[in-house]
Amino acid sequence: MKKAEDFHPHYHMIKVVMTDGTTFNTYSTYGSEGDTLTLDVDPKTHPAWTGQNQHLVDRGGRLSRFKKKFEGMF
């Protein structure tokens, strides 16, 4: 049987830098102790979390075909 340290992740303290420059410390399996994780997308700015600028783009008529196919369901 393998030892516990062979298959369990090692959690250590890292620094996370948000897109607006704010930072916080957290435990993670990313990198090694003291590393910095710089985010390209975060929940303060991305439309998926903020609910702004959300619109569907119909590329190649896929959205139109979907709407037509499921027209009477909802």
Query: Is pLDDT above 90 for 35?
Result: yes
- Quote the pLDDT of residue 69: 86
Which DSSP string corresponds to 1-62?
---HHHHS---EEEEEE-TTS-EEEEEESSSSTT-EEE-SS-TTT-HHHH--S-----STTH
How many domains is the chain built from? 1
Query: Is pLDDT above 90 for 40?
Result: no
Within-domain flag for 8: yes
Q: What is the mean pLDDT of residues 14-34?
A: 93
- Structural domain that includes position 8: 1-45
Within-domain flag for 66: no
Report pTM.
0.55
Within-domain flag for 71: no
- Quote the pLDDT of residue 9: 85
Q: Which residue has the higher pLDDT, 24 or 48?
A: 24
- Quote the pLDDT of residue 46: 73
Within-domain flag for 56: no
- Quote the pLDDT of residue 33: 94
